[in-house]
Amino acid sequence: MHDAVCPWNEGRWKLESGAASRTDDAAEIALDVDALGSAYLGAVSFEQLRAAGRVEELADGGVRRADALFAWRPLPWCPEIF
């Protein structure tokens, strides 16, 4: 993950059992933190981000696995207008 605002967040992260931890394992996808936030909040899928050139798939099936891991239904929704 790349983070231009908070470089201490950069690196490889492993998501397992509902927790994130740093890892030296090979990454399956590469992306900026803003793309991760968009997927996390349900705005777009990792597949859509890949099609837009915002996610790079480094291992076969990495984008599909990320989409499955971040799948959330119903999608987040906020009834308030900011």
Residue 31 pairs in a beta bridge with 55
CA–CA dist 3, 12 (Å, integer): 12
- Asked whether residue 14 is domain-assigned, the answer is yes
Q: What is the CATH number of the domain that holds 24?
A: 3.30.1050.10
Render pLDDT for 5-53 as a digit per residue (tens, 0 to 9).
Answer: 998 889 999 988 888 899 999 999 999 999 999 998 887 999 999 999 9
- Asked whether residue 79 is domain-assigned, the answer is no
In the chain, the number of structural domains is 1
Residue 79 pLDDT greater than 90, yes or no: no
Residue 17 dihedral angles phi and psi, to the nearest 5°: 55, 40
- Parent domain of 65: 7-69
Cα–chain-centroid distance for residue 8? Answer: 17
CA–CA dist 38, 73 (Å, integer): 15
Render pLDDT for 2-12 as a digit per residue (tens, 0 to 9).
Answer: 888 998 889 99
